[in-house]
Amino acid sequence: MHRIEISNFGPIKECVMDINQFTVLTGPQASGKSTIAKAIYFFRTIKDDIMDLILKNKENEPLRSIVTNYLLTKFYRLFDMLTTETWTELADLKYIYKNDVFVDMWYDENMGYNQYVVYFSPQIEKFFEAKSNLSYPIDEETRNKLYDELNDLFDDHVETVYIPAGRVTTALLSEQLTPIFMSMDDRQRETIEYSFRKYFELVLKIKPWFEKNTVTDKFYKKIINAEYKYENRQERLYFNDNQYIPLGFASSGQQEAVWILNILNYYISYKKIFLIVEEPEAHLYPESQMHMTDALSLFINGGGNYGLITTHSPYILGELNNLILCGQAENEGIEKNSIKKASDIDERTWFKKDALHAFHVIGGKCENALTDGLIMNELIEGASEKIDGKSAGLIDLFHREDDK
């Protein structure tokens, strides 16, 4: 099981988190959920960075130096929202892949412009040293061996995919995104925040797949009340066989949700991944949020994938508890048909014991959000209880007036 440790970085003062099959981060806005999610994305994609840099290293330059410089650049671009004032001398980010394999980054004010140090554990250093004299061009057999070796070294055999908040941009610019992005040179593309740029690239890469493949996933109807098609170089949402609207004219909820569903359907047909989704509830009606939770759980639990979401939606947290309760009921020996009848939830979405970890990010800390295996009720009902309390107090005013 991977683990991330963060201290004194941005809004996060202290965070130690084991990363499970499904990890949930909840908490107020600007509490640091995205900082943690992006840090996990940064570290989980290091193995891919190393592979890409090996393949591009035509000059046979020292691999460790190339990787270090690339990671520092990637780090600054990924966290460009963090001002220098938050880069304190105590800042430290460490990701542990397995007992003797980790990457550590910490702030060093003596480093000048590159103010962070990248430290690789000895096993990774041995890999760099062993690959210092590769023969170019690298043939397919060698490339496949390198992939396997890196996957084993980092104890990670899946690709990591990040779906950021604000993804509505890709829908609003649906038809313009390709020409805009392709007209940019490398320097211009690098001005786009790193996770967004990678997301744009992913959307452009897999969009043509939907031209050749028809998706009949029930969740499109349940969540966006339409079917998605990519035809005649236009993204469309069909309400029936003859009626459609271009994606750029769809509702904000449809625009936010459609590419989450598209990515789920693409990868379920292609390969297993670690999926990170920020705010899957964005602009969705409560019932649609429930179905989105089921769709993500089906992809992860039913599809053998891994995932992390950031959310502050009580509807998503509540539905996650329902999925946990289904798994707990099955573990207690309750008949599956009885659980299905009570919940009306696909058994492939149910959580096995300890498959979900949830954390409450607040006040700079990352705290366990589970009690008896369930997400704490106060995190789900906290705001509504305050609202109900205000309503009760206001209604009581009317009764007082009636009593006069």
| Mean pLDDT computed over 66-76 | 92
Phi-psi region of 292 (alpha: psi -120 to 50; beta: other; left: phi over 0): alpha
How many structural domains is the chain composed of? Answer: 1
Per-residue pLDDT at 400: 60
Per-residue pLDDT at 391: 64
Q: Does 178 or 260 have the greater pLDDT score?
A: 260
- Domain assignment present for residue 215? The answer is no
Distance, in Å, from the CA atom of 6 to the CA atom of 138, rounded to the nearest integer, reads 37
- Domain assignment present for residue 117? The answer is yes
**pLDDT confidence bin for 112, thresholds 50/70/90:** low
pLDDT of 360 over the 80 cut: yes
Low-confidence winner among 123-137, 174-188, 254-268, 373-387 (lowest mean pLDDT): 174-188
- Domain assignment present for residue 247? The answer is no
Low-confidence winner among 93-102, 173-182, 200-209, 299-308 (lowest mean pLDDT): 173-182
pLDDT of 113 over the 70 cut: no
- Predicted TM-score (pTM) of the model is 0.91
- Domain assignment present for residue 200? The answer is no
Using CA atoms of 78, 81, 83, 86 in order, give the dihedral in degrees to the nearest 10: -70
Per-residue pLDDT at 12: 94
The helix/strand/coil state of 353 is coil
| Mean pLDDT computed over 338-350 | 92
| Mean pLDDT computed over 331-347 | 92
Distance, in Å, from the CA atom of 66 to the CA atom of 53, rounded to the nearest integer, reads 7
Q: Does 14 or 77 have the greater pLDDT score?
A: 14
pLDDT of 25 over the 60 cut: yes
SS (H, E, C) 82-94: CCHHHEEEEEEEE
Question: Could you tell me the residue range of the domain that residue 353 belongs to?
Answer: 2-181+265-392
The CATH number linked to 380 is 3.40.50
Question: Running DSSP on this structure, what letter comes out for residue 348?
Answer: G
**pLDDT confidence bin for 82, thresholds 50/70/90:** very low
- Domain assignment present for residue 91? The answer is yes
| Mean pLDDT computed over 40-56 | 95
- Domain assignment present for residue 199? The answer is no
Closest CA to 380 of 318, 291, 294, 293: 318
Per-residue pLDDT at 397: 66
Closest CA to 42 of 95, 92, 96, 89: 95
Using CA atoms of 53, 59, 63, 67 in order, give the dihedral in degrees to the nearest 10: -40
- Domain assignment present for residue 236? The answer is no
Of all residues in the chain, what percent carry a pLDDT higher than 90?
Answer: 65
- Domain assignment present for residue 258? The answer is no
Tokens 């397995």, located at residue: 98
